[in-house]
Amino acid sequence: MASTATGGNLVTLPAPRNTQAGSDAGLIRTARRRKVSSEAGRAMEMLAHAVEYLADEFSLECMTRQDNIAAGMHPRVVAIEILKKCSRVVYLSCPEIPTLGERLGRLVGRQGA
């Protein structure tokens, strides 16, 4: 687990989990590389820039504001979470790259047939 300091408070961040999109069980899977098309790469890049912009604005606003709004309820934080989820959806829609074992298995399978 990672921790980060926010305004004197210590917030514990959950460990990253590799889960399949739409999985309700939340089963941990091994990380698989994906073949990202140029369109998907551009979409993820634009989403990342939007997240960075909102995060910068939010941090600047927090430094200048006197009254505290719960971080999880702030509209910019909600927008950041939506953009991050969209980026994950784009990435997970890209096809997985076969592992070396899978590629070798297909090659051996063709030669044996």
User: Could you tell me the pTM of the whole model?
Assistant: 0.56
> 3-state secondary structure string, the chain?
CEEEEECCEEEEECCCCCCCCCCCCCCCCCCCCECCCHHHHHHHHHHHHHHHHHHHHHHHHHHHCCCCCCHHHCHHHHHHHHHHHHHHHHHHCCCECCCHHHHHHHHHHHHHC
- Answer with the residue of higher pLDDT: 7 or 68: 68
- Answer with the residue of higher pLDDT: 13 or 55: 55
- What does the domain layout of the chain look like in residue ranges? 34-93
Please give the pLDDT value at position 4.
Answer: 40
Q: What is the pLDDT of residues 48-103, one digit of tens each?
A: 999 999 998 888 887 776 555 555 567 888 889 999 999 999 999 999 999 998 88
